[in-house]
Amino acid sequence: MRFLITRPEEDAEPLAEAVRALGHDTLIDSMLRITAFDDVQLDTDGVQAILFSSANGVRAFSDISLNRRVPVYTVGEASAAIARDMGFRKVHAAGGDVAALAQLVAGALKPEEGILMHVSGTVVARELKDLLQKDGFNVFRVRLYESEPATRLSEPTIAHFSKGALDGVLFYSPRTAQIFTDLIIENRLTEACRNTRALCLSEAVAEVADKMPWRAIKVADAPSQSAMLALLSS
């Protein structure tokens, strides 16, 4: 089978390797391009923990700061693995989404022990601060990268869609699914979606993907890469 991967370039190739290891073919067409900011001044004094809601945040922080001593809490295992690779000493992984991250932090930390730094991009699907402030935490958000949407589909993507040569498209975020949907409409490929499946990380992602007439929409049992890979054979 052949699957289209829509993740940003930094995350797409590792995912493609995992898909190929299961015996499938892959096609990559990133719907977001990540640009890190290198002129941000970071001050971690008084910060009891750093919260990463994406792997891109881990990379961006690591590029401009040498501090690896502050405990970090990541949205999932994939971002936790990158944090460990970057040299962070105390890494705690949540279950794969921002709500799980907030729950993990609230259960492990105390508001009076210091402020929390949330490292993110310029756009977030859900504000982590809103989830934690009800428990008394002081959270400040640092924007270290931006994600620029794709403006066109690649020629291979158009060709494979037109021929019905894709078994599924992997979507990891509502924003990615929306960008892809817009480009499918722009290229008049809406009906071609009937030949393939949308494989979605969460119900929120599936809600956006559902605007297209897919052969089927599958949602992972958990917001994790292992659960997404399990959908390939479902």
pLDDT computed for residue 97 by the predictor? 85
pLDDT computed for residue 15 by the predictor? 95
Domains of the chain by range and CATH? Answer: 2-31+150-233 (3.40.50.10090), 34-148 (3.40.50.10090)
Summary mean pLDDT of the chain? 94
DSSP secondary structure letters along the chain: -EEEE-S-HHHHHHHHHHHHHTT-EEEE--SEEEEE-S------TTEEEEEESSHHHHHHHHHH-----S-EEESSHHHHHHHHHTT-SSEEE-SSSHHHHHHHHHHH--GGG-EEEEEEES--SS-HHHHHGGGT--EEEEEEEEEEEPSS--HHHHHHHHHT--SEEEE-SHHHHHHHHHHHHHTT-GGGGGGSEEEESSHHHHHHHTTS--SEEEE-SSSSHHHHHHGGG-
pLDDT computed for residue 123 by the predictor? 83
Name the pTM for this structure: 0.87
pLDDT computed for residue 125 by the predictor? 65
* Parts of the chain with a pLDDT under 50: none
